């Protein structure tokens, strides 16, 4: 028996289809591995990334803290904030925010509304719970000085 008859008799077609499938699958997998190889090489070059992968996620900071971190004072704003600090020094420890705003307007400070809002957002000005506010000197020193 020769030729196609012999192939049919020995399940040659099925064997060849299985063979082609195995080779093709192997080539696809090999190409995927090669395509991702750059990531492995990057880890090889910078092992600290491996540690970062296994490092526990830090708990999310409270929203207020995020806001506080988001406000970055420009140099000109820092000057205005220092002027606000001077105004606050003329007031009592627990001061009135509308009064501070009024003083800022009278003193012709730049962008008094925006800057007062920034002082509140950065928690340099903190509510005392009774309708008045206090000046957090530590936060002021940290963000402005």
Partner 1 sequence: MSNIKEILKESSVFICLGEDERVSLAQLFEKREIQAGDILATAEDAAQYFFLLNNGTVLLAMDEGKSVVLNKAGDFIGFELLSAKGIYRTTLTVLESGSVFAVPTQDFLAFIQKESVAATAIMTAWQGYLDKTASFAKNIEDISLPYNF
| Binding residue (CB under 8 A) for partner 1 from 48, 58, 90, 130 | 130
Comparison of 125 and 143: residue with beta carbon closer to partner 1: 125
CB of residue 101 to partner 1, shortest distance in Å: 7
Residue 13 exposed, middle or buried by CB count within 10 Å (0-12, 13-18, 19+): exposed
Comparison of 7 and 132: residue with beta carbon closer to partner 1: 132
Per-residue x/- track, 57-96, partner 1 (CB under 8 A): ---------------------------------------x
- Give the C-alpha separation, 92 to 134, whole Å: 9
| Binding residue (CB under 8 A) for partner 1 from 71, 73, 120, 139 | 120
Q: Which of 87, 69, 47 is nearest to 139 (CA)?
A: 69
DSSP secondary structure, the chain, as one string: --HHHHHHHTTHHHHHHHHHHHHHHHHHHHHHHHHHHHHHHHHHH-THHHHHHHSPPPPPPPHHHHHHHH----HHHHHHHHHHHHHHHTS-SSB-HHHHHHHHHHTT-SSHHHHHHHHHHTTSEEE-SSS-EEE-HHHHHHHT-
Could you tell me how many residues of this chain bind partner 1 (CB under 8 A)?
Answer: 18
Applying CB under 8 A, the span of 10-18, 54-62, 75-83, 98-106 interacting with partner 1 comes to 98-106
| Binding residue (CB under 8 A) for partner 1 from 71, 73, 99, 136 | 99
Applying CB under 8 A, the span of 17-25, 26-34, 40-48, 120-128 interacting with partner 1 comes to 120-128
Query: Which residues of the shown chain bind partner 1 in the complex (CB under 8 A)?
Result: 96-99, 101, 111, 113-114, 116-117, 120-121, 127, 129-133
């Amino acid at each position: 028996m020769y030729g196609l008859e012999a192939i049919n008799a020995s399940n040659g077609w099925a064997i060849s289809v299985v063979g082609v499938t195995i080779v093709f699958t192997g080539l696809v997998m090999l190409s995927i591995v090669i395509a991702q190889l750059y990531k492995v090489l990057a880890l090889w070059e910078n092992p600290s990334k491996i540690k970062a992968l296994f490092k526990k996620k830090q708990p999310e900071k409270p929203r207020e803290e995020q806001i506080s971190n988001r406000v970055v004072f420009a140099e000109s704003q820092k000057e205005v904030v220092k002027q606000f600090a001077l105004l606050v020094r003329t007031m009592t420890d627990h001061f009135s925010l509308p009064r501070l705003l009024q003083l800022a307007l009278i003193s012709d400070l730049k962008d008094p509304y925006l800057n007062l809002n920034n002082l509140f957002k950065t928690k340099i000005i903190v509510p005392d719970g009774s309708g008045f506010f206090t000046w957090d000197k530590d936060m002021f020193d940290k963000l402005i000085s």
